[in-house]
């Protein structure tokens, strides 16, 4: 779906199909998404001045923070990258290069544009692939003229191919072309040439002394210098079609145009989701040393990216001024105010996500398009076994998950995965050996209570089990 056709209300309705509750968060991301299109539709002189309202989502694990951002990106068909802020502190003060998230966004954008362009030339590429397969099965005969362009007559070795042979060859090729189109030759083996990547396996000796961009540029330069090799493989027609389709489509695409469009999309529609931002919040604002210095260092590295800066990537230069940043964190130990003031100011929209209730769990099990019950029904369906959940069973599953969350540790909707796995693993193990095809399983509340008895009984011990 194209974002310009969706109003904020319609965006929320789409998100409701996958995410239960969290109305405030959905409303805010819907406005942010619609604002992308509104900005692009404004007068040129004001367009560059309108900056995105970045969002900070605050809420416990498993309440839907990541899912909201991921579904939003899918809805807008926008380049989307999820990073964990803690990754940048893992090896001390240096950590992973913060700019790598922007490079990942551009890479994602290039892949999206390339996939769309390949789809556009798919028909033309399929025709080219058909010709290659046909040439491998029945090589064409070309009728040569009696004299060369130089004026010299042909020698004995360059004797003219009789017209009758050329016509017979053409008829045979047309016959085989029909067979290929009808899928009659799929298992026939043919020899095809597959282009290799040349120097794609060149190692980076001494790369530790170089930054990421220099490494990428050097790698690309070395790859360009290495001769492109091709190797012959014997494969079935079906396999050849799959391999060659990608190769032929790539030939029909202008990569410079792809890169240009991809950078434009990343700049104006890209979404970067920074998870676990609370992990880089300093414990106190009074300075100090150790981990807090590392965390504050990462915040200061993040700041120019979020504020808007220019980042070099192997596909070109990208400006991050209009990239939408959505940050999320549980903020159990730290508070949003523990972030440095400059970074706080770059996330003006703050949304607190509420903890999930038992009723929310019931809805999560039943309503979404990707509900857990529907996922398990699909798994059993693959074995020709039908499984259904009684209403009181769903109520009991939700109650069990909610109780364990309250007594042990609140991990939100993820607890439902634990409960459903414990409940259904025995059935999944017995299919198809003990439970044959066309069987029907009905999950009842009593069955749930029986399976969950140990889990609830040992909840005090479960706190101490790693």
pLDDT of residue 214: 62
- CATH number of the domain within which 89 lies: 3.40.50.300
Which pLDDT tens digit goes with each residue over 241-254?
888 888 888 888 99
Q: Tell whether 280 and 373 lie within a shared domain.
A: no
Report pTM. 0.78
Q: Is 20 annotated as a binding-site member? A: yes
Please provide the average confidence, as pLDDT, over all residues in the chain. Answer: 82
pLDDT of residue 159: 52
Q: Tell whether 267 and 231 lie within a shared domain.
A: no
Q: Is 66 annotated as a binding-site member? A: yes
Q: Please state the φ and ψ torsions of residue 68, each to the nearest 5 degrees.
A: -60, -50
Angle at the Cα of 330 from the Cα atoms of 326 and 336, rounded to 5 degrees: 70
Quick count: other Cβ atoms within 10 Å of Cβ 96?
Answer: 16
Q: Provide the domain limits for residue 227.
A: 131-252
Q: Tell whether 64 and 103 lie within a shared domain.
A: yes
Alpha-carbon distance of 14 to 109, in angstroms, equals 23
Which pLDDT tens digit goes with each residue over 164-195?
778 888 888 888 888 888 888 888 888 888 77
End position of a domain, from candidates 294, 322, 352:
352
Alpha-carbon distance of 118 to 431, in angstroms, equals 41
Q: Is 65 annotated as a binding-site member? A: yes
Q: Tell whether 332 and 241 lie within a shared domain.
A: no
DSSP output for 355-383: PP-HHHHHHHHHSSTT-HHHHHHHHHHTT
Closest listed residue to residue 387, CA positions, set 401, 376, 371: 376
Q: Is 107 annotated as a binding-site member? A: no
Q: Tell whether 7 and 111 lie within a shared domain.
A: yes
Q: Is 24 annotated as a binding-site member? A: no
Q: Report yes or no on 462 lying in a domain.
A: no
Q: Tell whether 335 and 425 lie within a shared domain.
A: no
Q: Tell whether 191 and 280 lie within a shared domain.
A: no
Q: Tell whether 95 and 75 lie within a shared domain.
A: yes
Q: Report yes or no on 79 lying in a domain.
A: yes
Q: Tell whether 217 and 288 lie within a shared domain.
A: no
Question: Token pair for residue 295?
Answer: 């965390």
Q: Tell whether 404 and 423 lie within a shared domain.
A: yes
Q: Tell whether 243 and 268 lie within a shared domain.
A: no
Confidence band of 151 (pLDDT split at 50, 70, 90) = very low
Q: Of how many residues is the chain composed? A: 466
pLDDT of residue 205: 45
Which pLDDT tens digit goes with each residue over 359-382?
999 999 999 888 999 999 999 999
Q: Is 275 annotated as a binding-site member? A: yes
Which pLDDT tens digit goes with each residue over 377-396?
999 999 999 999 999 999 99
pLDDT of residue 85: 86
Q: Report yes or no on 168 lying in a domain.
A: yes
Q: Report yes or no on 122 lying in a domain.
A: no
Q: Tell whether 285 and 317 lie within a shared domain.
A: yes
Which pLDDT tens digit goes with each residue over 298-344?
888 899 999 999 999 989 999 999 999 999 998 888 889 889 999 99
Q: Is 414 annotated as a binding-site member? A: yes
Q: Report yes or no on 57 lying in a domain.
A: yes
Confidence band of 292 (pLDDT split at 50, 70, 90) = low
CA 398 to chain centre: 30
End position of a domain, from candidates 219, 252, 285:
252
DSSP 8-state assignment for residue 147: B
End position of a domain, from candidates 200, 217, 252:
252
For the chain, how many structural domains are there in total? 3
């Amino acid at each position: 779906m194209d974002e310009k056709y969706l109003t904020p209300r319609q965006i929320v309705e789409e998100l409701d199909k996958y995410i239960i509750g969290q109305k405030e968060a959905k409303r805010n991301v819907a406005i942010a998404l619609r604002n992308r299109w509104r900005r692009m539709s404004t007068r040129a002189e004001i367009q560059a001045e309108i900056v995105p309202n970045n969002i900070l989502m605050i809420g416990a694990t498993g309440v839907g923070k990541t899912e909201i951002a991921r579904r939003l990106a899918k809805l807008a068909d926008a380049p989307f990258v999820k990073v964990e802020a803690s990754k940048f502190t893992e090896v001390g003060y240096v950590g992973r290069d913060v700019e790598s998230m922007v490079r990942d966004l551009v890479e994602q954008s290039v892949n999206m544009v390339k996939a769309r362009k390949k789809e556009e030339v798919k028909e033309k590429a399929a025709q080219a692939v058909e010709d290659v397969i046909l040439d491998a099965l029945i090589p064409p005969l070309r009728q040569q003229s009696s004299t060369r362009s130089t004026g010299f007559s042909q020698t004995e070795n360059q004797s003219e191919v009789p017209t009758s042979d050329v016509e017979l060859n053409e008829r045979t090729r047309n016959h085989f072309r029909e067979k290929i189109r009808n899928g009659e030759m799929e298992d026939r083996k043919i020899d095809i040439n597959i282009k290799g990547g040349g120097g794609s396996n060149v190692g980076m000796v001494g790369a530790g002394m170089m930054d990421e961009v220099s490494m990428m540029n050097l790698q690309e330069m070395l790859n360009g210098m290495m001769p492109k090799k091709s190797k012959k493989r014997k494969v079935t027609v079906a396999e050849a079609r799959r391999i060659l389709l990608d190769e032929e489509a790539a030939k029909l695409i202008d990569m410079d145009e792809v890169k240009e469009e991809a950078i434009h999309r990343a700049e104006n529609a890209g979404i970067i989701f920074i998870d676990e931002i609370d992990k880089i919040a300093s414990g106190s604002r009074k300075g100090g040393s150790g981990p807090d210095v590392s965390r504050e260092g990462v915040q200061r590295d993040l700041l120019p990216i979020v504020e808007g800066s220019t980042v070099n990537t192997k596909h070109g230069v990208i400006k991050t001024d209009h990239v939408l940043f959505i940050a999320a964190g549980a903020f159990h130990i730290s508070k949003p105010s523990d972030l440095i003031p400059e970074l706080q100011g770059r996330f003006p929209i703050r949304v607190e996500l509420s903890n999930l209730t038992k009723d929310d769990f019931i809805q999560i099990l039943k309503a979404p398009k990707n509900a857990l019950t529907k996922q398990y029904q699909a798994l059993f369906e693959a074995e020709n076994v039908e499984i259904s959940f009684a209403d009181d069973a769903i109520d009991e599953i939700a109650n069990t998950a909610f109780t364990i969350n309250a007594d042990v540790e609140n991990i939100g909707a993820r607890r439902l995965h634990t409960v459903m796995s414990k409940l259904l693993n025995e059935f999944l193990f017995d299919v198809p050996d003990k439970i044959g095809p066309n069987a029907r399983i009905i999950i009842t509340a009593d069955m749930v209570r029986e399976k969950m008895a140990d889990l609830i009984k040992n909840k005090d011990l479960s706190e101490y089990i790693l």
